[in-house]
């Protein structure tokens, strides 16, 4: 697989983003959704900001308060034995293993704009910021599907009652309609197909199940993009392989002659995130035709291996120009990068089932 990583990588780093909140630092500008609007490439960055702590014994947790529309900042002592601070992203209660109590940063969506897809200018203010009780821990990992002249932007809405997928829509990136939560908790990695198939809208999604099952890929259909049904499980984890721990959709599905090409992320149980692909039937996208046995991209560059949470390549959007696929991707839960791959080479690399 030929992969051309841009020389400018990482294209956007936290140092390029001015904090929106006083007394905070930007620790991540990553996992961006991608859109083309008015002749520009827009990256809808997940910006993560953290309250600065001057005391190494204190870990702070920012929480959006829907009543005041401000952030509350909670403080925890690192020697408090009720909590586990070993994962820098979260504060866990030692008695509830698996779940987390608080996040150490708050994420929201901010836009970076570019004429050439390489050099970006970052807006001063958020594009989509928490407003509701289901978003008090932040909004994360946006994806964008353009249908006609409407852009549907959907993201993980994180709060103490769970992580679900909520959606807003806009025609101009100024005025928004909030459609509420379209996939209830726990669910992430929703990808809405860019056109109807046999009269229905389709979306990939990734429930996290607690009774039986694993974090794997599902598909659902809808008449109106808001109410989703006829859920089907389409692809699962593979023991001993690069996608043995968790998996979820990445970029908006791309129509090719051979089928819908879905770039997805897979991780091992020790959290090494790679990108691979699924090929779905053009007429019935619940049918998986082919899949990557080997990742199409793995964390290799220094900026992919090292960062806030290292060994992560995680794409939320790509642009296609003929055979050239420009995959924008978050690196190490810290920054944004881009790489060009050949659509044909990806398709040729897949193993048919
Ligand atoms: C995981 C990671 C974090 C994220 C939380 C909540 O722990 O993906 O980056 O903030 O889930 O979604």
β-pairing, 4-5 with 102-103? unpaired
d(CA 81, CA 318): 44
Instruction: Give 90-125 pLDDT, tens digit per residue.
Output: 999 999 877 999 999 999 999 999 999 999 999 999
- Which residues contact ligand 1 via a Cβ below 6 A? 89-90, 103, 140, 156, 158, 163
**pLDDT of amino acid 179:** 98
Contact 219, 234 (CB under 8 A): yes
Looking at ligand 1, which residue's alpha carbon is closest to its atom 9? Answer: 89
Index of the ligand 1 atom closest to the CA of residue 103: 10
Looking at ligand 1, which residue's alpha carbon is closest to its atom 8? Answer: 89
Residues lower than pLDDT 70 in the chain: none
d(CA 36, CA 42): 6
Which residues are CB-contacts of 55 (< 8 A; sequence separation ≥ 6)?
Answer: none
Residue in 86, 88, 90 to alter for ligand 1 test, most ligand atoms within 8 A of Cβ: 90
Index of the ligand 1 atom closest to the CA of residue 138: 10
Which residues are CB-contacts of 253 (< 8 A; sequence separation ≥ 6)?
Answer: 191, 193, 194, 204, 260, 261, 262, 280, 285
Residue in 140, 185, 307, 311 to alter for ligand 1 test, most ligand atoms within 8 A of Cβ: 140
Give this prediction's pTM.
0.97
**pLDDT of amino acid 56:** 95
3-state helix, strand, coil in the chain (%, to 5): 5, 50, 45
**pLDDT of amino acid 98:** 78
**pLDDT of amino acid 97:** 76
Three-state DSSP class for residue 345 = helix
**pLDDT of amino acid 7:** 98
Contact 161, 168 (CB under 8 A): no
Count Cα atoms within 13 angstroms, Cβ side, for 336. 35
């Amino acid at each position: 697989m030929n992969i051309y990583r841009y020389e400018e990588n990482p294209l956007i780093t936290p140092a390029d983003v001015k904090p929106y909140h006083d007394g905070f630092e930007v620790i991540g500008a990553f996992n961006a959704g991608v859109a083309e609007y008015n002749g520009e490439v827009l990256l809808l960055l997940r910006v993560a900001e953290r309250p600065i702590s001057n005391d190494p014994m204190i870990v702070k947790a920012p929480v959006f308060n829907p009543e005041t529309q401000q952030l509350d900042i909670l403080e925890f002592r690192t020697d408090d034995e009720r909590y586990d601070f070993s994962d820098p992203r979260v504060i866990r209660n030692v008695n509830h293993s698996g779940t987390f109590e608080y996040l150490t940063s708050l994420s929201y969506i901010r836009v970076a704009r570019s004429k050439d897809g390489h050099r970006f200018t970052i807006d001063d203010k958020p594009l989509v910021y928490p407003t509701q009780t289901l978003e008090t821990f932040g909004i994360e990992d946006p994806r964008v599907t353009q249908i006609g002249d409407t852009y549907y932007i959907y993201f993980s809405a994180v709060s103490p009652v769970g992580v679900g997928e909520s959606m807003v829509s806009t025609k101009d990136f100024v005025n928004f309609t909030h459609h509420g939560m379209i996939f209830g908790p726990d669910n992430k990695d929703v990808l809405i197909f860019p056109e109807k198939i046999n009269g229905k809208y389709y979306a990939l999604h990734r429930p996290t199940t607690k009774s039986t099952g694993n974090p794997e890929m599902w598909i659902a259909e809808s008449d109106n993009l808001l109410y989703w049904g006829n859920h089907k499980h389409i692809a699962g984890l593979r023991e001993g392989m690069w996608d043995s721990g968790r998996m979820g959709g990445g970029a908006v599905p791309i129509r090719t002659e051979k089928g819908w090409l879905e770039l997805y992320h897979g991780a091992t149980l020790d959290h090494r995130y790679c990108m691979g692909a699924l090929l779905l039937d053009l007429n019935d996208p619940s049918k998986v035709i082919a899949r990557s046995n080997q990742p199409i991209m793995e964390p290799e560059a220094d900026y992919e291996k090292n960062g806030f949470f290292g060994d992560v390549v995680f794409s939320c959007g790509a642009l296609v120009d003929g055979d050239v696929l420009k995959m924008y991707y978050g690196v190490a839960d810290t920054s944004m990068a881009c790489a060009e791959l050949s659509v044909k080479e990806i398709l040729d690399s897949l193993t048919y089932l």
